[in-house]
């Protein structure tokens, strides 16, 4: 994927959607580096935004890399973890994408205490891998609902549902992580373009 870089300490083999090789003493940590959208506006809107910590189902709320098999069974890649839990990763990359897009005067998470005009709520529905059968090649998937809240009146200004998938090029751990990275990159492009439209900024 153009612009996407992935750092990995160890490459493990995966047969279809089956089980990875037995883990060693410590799991491999895979670092995602999704492509961030470029600058979307010449000048930012005079508004600041905070993104709350995303909500997520229990099966994707940690640092394990989840795989949905046939939309019913959840498995996890053995011996391989993200560098952080999925909600923290998604929150960080969404904020980085909005910052790079130059459509807002300021962005941050709730911990930095900025006076926000807007609040972004994120509900992660799926983040990881999806497989139709145990023999098929997995695809990376990122699915989330975004809601923009006007802090002046507490009303929802807009809602965006995102579902992005990316077929893995191979069945090793690095290729599977790159597929997740690609799906997330496409989702980040969607959210920044939507936010620019909500703010009335020129794309």
Torsion of CA 169, 172, 174, 175, to 10 degrees: 10
Quick: pLDDT tens for 145-156. Answer: 999 999 989 999
Q: Which residues pair with 73 in a beta bridge?
A: 69
Question: Over the stretch 97-124, which tens digit does the pLDDT of each residue have?
Answer: 999 999 999 999 988 878 899 999 999 9
Instruction: Enumerate domains of the chain plus CATH numbers.
Output: 42-199 (3.40.50.10610)
- Please tell me the pTM assigned to this model: 0.84
């Amino acid at each position: 994927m153009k612009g996407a870089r992935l750092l990995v300490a160890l490459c493990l083999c995966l047969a279809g959607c089956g089980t990875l090789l037995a883990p060693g003493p410590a799991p491999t940590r895979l670092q995602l580096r999704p492509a961030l959208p470029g600058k979307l506006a010449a000048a930012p809107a005079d508004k600041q935004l905070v993104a709350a910590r995303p909500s997520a189902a229990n099966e994707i709320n940690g640092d394990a890399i989840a795989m949905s098999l046939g939309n019913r069974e959840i498995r996890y890649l053995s011996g391989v973890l993200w560098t952080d839990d999925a909600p923290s990763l998604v929150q960080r990359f969404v904020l980085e994408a909005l910052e790079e897009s130059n459509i807002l005067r300021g962005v941050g998470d709730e911990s930095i205490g900025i006076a926000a005009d807007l609040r972004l709520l994120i509900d992660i529905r799926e983040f990881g891998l999806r497989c139709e059968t145990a023999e098929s090649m997995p695809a990376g998937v990122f699915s989330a609902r975004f809601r923009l809240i006007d802090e002046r009146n507490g009303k929802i200004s807009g809602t965006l549902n995102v579902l992005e998938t990316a077929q893995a090029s191979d069945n090793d751990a690095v290729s599977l992580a790159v597929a997740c990275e690609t799906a997330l990159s496409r989702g980040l492009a969607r959210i920044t373009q939507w936010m620019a439209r909500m703010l009335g900024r020129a794309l």
